[in-house]
Amino acid sequence: MLLLAAIALVILVAAALSLLLPMNKSSNFCSSEFSQQQRNACFESLAISSNNSTACAAFSGTGRDSCYSQIAARTKNQSICSSVSNYSSRYACVTQIANATVTYSSCSQLSEPYSDMCFYAVGTSHLIPPACSSIKNQSLSNTCSYSIDYDNAVTYRNASYCRSIGNGTTAQAIALLNAQQYSITNSSAGNLAIITDYYSSDLNITITPRDLCYYSLAYYGSDSAYCPSISNPTLAGLCKSSYSKPESNASIAAYYRNLSRLCPNSSTGSSTCSYTAIINAVYLKNATKCSTFNSTSSAICYSEFASYYSNSSYCQYIHNATLNGACVESVLYNKNAST
């Protein structure tokens, strides 16, 4: 307690001296009879209160980098970041100011891969396509561009942005979704993340960034009109079953009847065929069929029943707590979206 009190007193005195004395005399005060911990606290207070990074040079250890970073952030002076010795900390310093000042060009002062990471952070945060084009890693550059188009598509409910997104990989699709969760503050983004992770990880469905974009528009708007644009037949069928109105599903039912002819052993076959069996059960309103699937397919089957018929009572048969919660939440979301 006495040490903390002494440090607090030193900080207060240093702050007062920074206002009353020239920098060299204030620095002399911090250099006098105190322990190293007290001197660091004194120099940091002196530097921050005066926004003068030269005082940071008196630091010892890792505190010096922290001092430079804080002054750089306060003054939005990126040149101070070059004094940060730890490169990871320097990246954080530069990126923070680049984001705050929306000046992605300053990312170029970093070496790879930190420069690419900086361009990505600023480009996706502020939707700046040229920042994405500055990324040398082509895969990350594509993901950056896809993220901007995805954000615009979801924000403005405009499918034309989806057409600009490449097919890419499931990993890139998940990256878009993770980024989007930060810009959508309601729980619907989290539910979509759970659904997408479940489909891609547990059911091995390939979800491309473009397909995710169309599926997301259907999800957020409860509108199956976007579903036919999805190239993966399993995901397209899931989209149709989830976001179409029951009274307008004759053509969708025919679609699945045709698909089922290709999957005679659908309950035990590929993921596409498994979904065929699930969706056929939903259209025939045969919920007992769900209990004949394995635990994974059974959970999605009951979830589809609940979503399609807006009846959360089907969720009670899902024993996984996370999926059960997502099932109930999906029904509530669809009901709210339709009102």
* Separation of alpha carbons 173 and 171, rounded Å: 5
* Separation of alpha carbons 22 and 95, rounded Å: 32
Does the pLDDT of residue 210 top 90, yes or no? yes
Q: Is residue 253 part of a domain?
A: yes
* Separation of alpha carbons 163 and 210, rounded Å: 7
Does the pLDDT of residue 190 top 90, yes or no? no
- pLDDT for res 309: 82
Q: Say how many domains are in the chain.
A: 2
Residues 253 and 339 grouped into a single domain? yes
* Domain stops at, among 166, 199, 229: 229
Residues 188 and 213 grouped into a single domain? yes
Q: Is residue 192 part of a domain?
A: yes
Residues 270 and 224 grouped into a single domain? no
Residues 224 and 309 grouped into a single domain? no
* Separation of alpha carbons 238 and 275, rounded Å: 8
Residues 249 and 337 grouped into a single domain? yes
Q: Which two tokens stand for residue 6?
A: 């002494």
For the residues 324-332, what does the mean pLDDT come to?
A: 79
107 neighbors 119 (Cβ within 8 angstroms): yes
State the amino acid at position 289 in one-letter form.
K
At 241-281, the pLDDT tens digits run 777 765 444 444 454 444 444 444 444 444 555 666 776 67
| Cβ neighbours, 10 Å, residue 6 | 15
Does the pLDDT of residue 297 top 80, yes or no? no
Residues 265 and 334 grouped into a single domain? yes
* Domain stops at, among 229, 258, 279: 229
Residues 250 and 339 grouped into a single domain? yes
The confidence band for 194, taking pLDDT boundaries of 50, 70 and 90, is low
Q: Is residue 64 part of a domain?
A: no
| Cβ neighbours, 10 Å, residue 94 | 24
Q: Is residue 113 part of a domain?
A: no
188 vs 85, which has greater pLDDT? 85
Q: Is residue 150 part of a domain?
A: yes
- pLDDT for res 60: 66
87 vs 197, which has greater pLDDT? 87
* Separation of alpha carbons 80 and 86, rounded Å: 13
* Separation of alpha carbons 270 and 264, rounded Å: 11
| Range(s) of the domain holding residue 167 | 141-229
Residue identified by tokens 């959508």 is 184
* Separation of alpha carbons 39 and 7, rounded Å: 9
How much is the pTM?
0.62
State the amino acid at position 19 in one-letter form.
L
For the residues 298-308, what does the mean pLDDT come to?
A: 82
- pLDDT for res 189: 61
- pLDDT for res 20: 35
Q: Is residue 132 part of a domain?
A: no
* Domain stops at, among 168, 202, 229: 229
Residues 273 and 304 grouped into a single domain? yes
Q: Is residue 66 part of a domain?
A: no
At 1-51, the pLDDT tens digits run 444 444 443 344 344 444 333 444 455 666 664 567 777 677 777 777 777
Q: Is residue 59 part of a domain?
A: no
